[in-house]
Amino acid sequence: MHWNKTRECMNREQLRSYQLEKLKETVDRVYHNVPSYRQKMQERNIIPEDINSLEDLQLLPFTTKQDLRDNYPYDMFAVPLEEIIRIHASSGTTGKPTVVGYTRRDIANWAELMARCLTMAGAQRDSVVQISYGYGLFTGGLGFHYGAEKIGALVIPISGGNTRRQVMLMRDLKTEILACTPSYALCIIETLEQMGLNRQELNLKAGIFGAEPWSENMRAELEEKLGIKALDIYGLSEVIGPGVACECTEQRGLHIFEDFFIPEIIDPVTEKPLPEGQAGELVITTIDKEGLPVIRYRTRDIASLSYEPCACGRTHARISKLLGRTDDMLIIRGVNVFPSQIESALMATGVVEPHYLIIVDRVNNLDTIEVLVEVSETLFADEIRKLEEVRKKIASEIYSTLGINVNVKLVEPYTIERSEGKAKRVIDKRKI
């Protein structure tokens, strides 16, 4: 099912010429309305008229989070403030947040994008959609809200938290589509079990999970425990929020809505473009945004791109499931490790709960890595010998996936902090 078949299944030649036209408009607009863009372009000796093909995108300077910080709060907006009708802010925990602004048209476009994503998950006018992403400055709640309303679905704007009530309403109101972070979905599953309910008593059909990395093994767990199709959704505040890319039911990569965004994959060190299929840093240019257009925004997220046709009929390119961020990548004794790879290895053992915490430290100039994993109550009550076997199994699974030795520590059920939004999976004591 498609929300906007004309746009989502546009033939690629048409799409490219559409993109070029919109790109030119955007570059012209930021050049004339945003001093920092004009200055950067002048430093490179380029003017908007130099952009005559999609390849010319590479002439343009990158934009980073630092640029947004330097221009905090409003100086990167490309329209007068009176045209901005909404502010959101990124969820970063350090320093000042990144403030992003939307015009009325931006909000309408965002709703269109989210309607496409929800339709991918099967949402229709008669669907019941429970939105358990946080409402507020975070883009998750309101982004989904406007998309679901645009479809005309019945929206439950419950936000995150109060999980028992979530579960009760999910059952009573017959929720069909659940939207939340994958880690909060785990928390919901746990609460279901504590309340003695099983998935048959629910009416769930699909989940749209994103805002943080999650592995294929986690997907299998969520699908099995909730009896749903679990789809991945990607986005970031600086670009618009959720709805930049979303999985269709093929579940083979996330379609990035190319009539709004031009994706590139670059080598984060050399900053050169990488060929199709190779993983690198995702860079995004918005071509249909008024309030805060971004040119070649360095997302710091790691993915690859595929232009292969998809069985769903959509022609928009697909990004791979996101492995992690360049800044979340742990370098342990020289080996690059993403927390999502550890998650994958843990879940592959099939014997532990999907709640874990990675603690990295440095002892005598040597990196150490400890993985705390919760075991089920029955396992925890078991004899020490059995627990030791489990511990070894996990360590060997991680070793065979990543080639590093880790210290695995099994911990009691419910001792690792649960999250209502984005989970914190890593404590890196080396930085302190």
Tokens encoding 351: 């014997």
> In angstroms, what CA-CA distances link 246 with 51, 99, 250, 291, 301?
29, 24, 11, 23, 15
Looking at beta carbons only, is 295 or 351 nearer to ligand DLL?
A: 295
> In angstroms, what CA-CA distances link 366 with 190, 331, 334?
37, 12, 11
Instruction: Say how far apart CA 124 and CA 46 lie, in whole Å.
Output: 46
Residues in contact with ligand DLL, total (CB under 6 A)?
21
**Which one of 51-59, 65-73, 228-236, 354-362 is the stretch in contact with ligand DLL (CB under 6 A)?**
228-236
Looking at beta carbons only, is 191 or 340 nearer to ligand DLL?
A: 340
**Which one of 11-19, 67-75, 211-219, 402-410 is the stretch in contact with ligand DLL (CB under 6 A)?**
211-219
Instruction: Say how far apart CA 432 and CA 429 lie, in whole Å.
Output: 6
Residues in the chain: 432
* DSSP output for 53-66: SGGGGGGSPPB-HH
Pick the binder of ligand DLL from 133, 146, 260, 297 (CB under 6 A). 133
Range 68-107, binding ligand DLL (CB under 6 A): 90-91
Angle formed by the axes of helices 216-226 and 182-194, to 10°? 30
Tokens encoding 244: 């930049």
Q: Does 119 bind ligand DLL (CB under 6 A)?
A: no
412: exposed, middle or buried (Cβ count in 10 Å: 0-12, 13-18, 19+): exposed
Looking at beta carbons only, is 242 or 354 nearer to ligand DLL?
A: 242
Residue 24 CB, nearest distance to ligand DLL (Å)? Answer: 27
Q: Does 121 bind ligand DLL (CB under 6 A)?
A: no
Q: Does 139 bind ligand DLL (CB under 6 A)?
A: yes
Q: How many Cβ atoms sit within 10 Å of the Cβ of residue 91? A: 18
What sections of 173-248 are H helices per DSSP? 182-194, 216-226
What φ, ψ does residue 294 adopt, rounded to 5°?
A: -125, 135
> In angstroms, what CA-CA distances link 292 with 79, 240, 394?
8, 9, 46
Tokens encoding 56: 């010319």
Looking at beta carbons only, is 90 or 304 nearer to ligand DLL?
A: 90
Instruction: Say how far apart CA 163 and CA 132 lie, in whole Å.
Output: 10
How far does the chain reach from its first CA to its final CA, in angstroms? Answer: 50
Looking at beta carbons only, is 221 or 232 nearer to ligand DLL?
A: 232
Tokens encoding 126: 């008669």
Pick the binder of ligand DLL from 210, 280, 339, 354 (CB under 6 A). 210
Q: Does 213 bind ligand DLL (CB under 6 A)?
A: yes
Binding mask 312-351 for ligand DLL (x = CB under 6 A): ----------x--x--------------------------
Tokens encoding 289: 């945004």
Residue 119 CB, nearest distance to ligand DLL (Å)? Answer: 16
Pick the binder of ligand DLL from 140, 291, 293, 354 (CB under 6 A). 140
Looking at beta carbons only, is 233 or 256 nearer to ligand DLL?
A: 233
Residue 108 CB, nearest distance to ligand DLL (Å)? Answer: 18
Looking at beta carbons only, is 24 or 69 nearer to ligand DLL?
A: 69
Q: Are 58 and 24 in contact (CB under 8 A)?
A: no
Binding mask 233-272 for ligand DLL (x = CB under 6 A): xxxxx---xx------------------------------
Pick the binder of ligand DLL from 67, 212, 290, 420 (CB under 6 A). 212
Residue 245 CB, nearest distance to ligand DLL (Å)? Answer: 8
Looking at beta carbons only, is 3 or 234 nearer to ligand DLL?
A: 234
Q: Does 160 bind ligand DLL (CB under 6 A)?
A: no
Containing 100, the helix (H) or strand (E) segment is strand 99-103
Pick the binder of ligand DLL from 112, 290, 301, 353 (CB under 6 A). 301
- Residues in contact with ligand DLL by CB under 6 A are 90-91, 133, 139-140, 210-213, 232-237, 241-242, 299, 301, 322, 325
